[in-house]
Amino acid sequence: MQPKCIVHFGKSLILKVVLTRYTIELFMYTDPISDFLTRVRNAMMAGHKVVEIPASKIKKEITKILFEQGYILNYKFEGQDQPQGTIKIALKYDKVTKEPAIRKIKRASTPGLRQYAGSKELPRVLNGLGVAIISTSKGVMTDKQARQENVGGEVLCFVY
C-alpha cells in the first residue's frame, strides 16, 4: 500500500493513504504534547464545552494535573481497550464573564530545545498563581510538588 500524497501542515505531517474507495487520514505529530495544548487552547478560544484528544500516558497525567489544579471541570478516558483511546475534557469557564479558566497554556520544552531545571531552579509561574508542569523521574507533577519532593526534570508547559 503506497501513500498517494503527503501534506505538511505546520509541525504536523498528514499522510493520506488511498484505498480503492476509501481515504484514510493518518495524523503523525512531531510533538504530541504541543498538539494536546493547542487543541485545549483552540477549544477554549472557540468556546467549546468539550474537547476530544488522542490519549497517551503523558497526556493523561497532564490532564489529571489540570483537573487537580482546577483548570478543567472534568475528564474521561475512553477506549481503554483500544490501542490508543481518547481523552474527553470538559472545559471550565467563569459563570459570569464566560472567560476560560485557562488564560494561557504554553509549551516550555520542545523537541528541538529541551528545557530542564533542577529542584532549585524550577520556574514559578506568576509568583505561584500559575502552574508549571514538570516531567520528573518520579512522574509528571506540578512545580510545587517537584519542589516538595526535591526533584528536577523537564519543564513541559506553563498554565495560568
pLDDT band for position 25 (50/70/90)? low
Domain that holds residue 67: 32-159
Size of the chain, expressed as the number of residues it contains:
160
What is the domain-level CATH number for residue 125?
3.30.1490.10
Percent of the chain with pLDDT over 90: 78
pLDDT of 2 higher than 80: no
Residue 105 lies in a domain: yes
pLDDT of 14 higher than 70: no
Q: What is the mean pLDDT of residues 130-149?
A: 98
Give the global pTM.
Answer: 0.81
In this structure, what C-alpha cell is assigned to residue 37?
Answer: 495544548
Residue 27 lies in a domain: no
Residue 74 lies in a domain: yes
Residue 22 lies in a domain: no
The interaxial angle of helices 32-46 and 57-68, nearest 10 deg, is 40
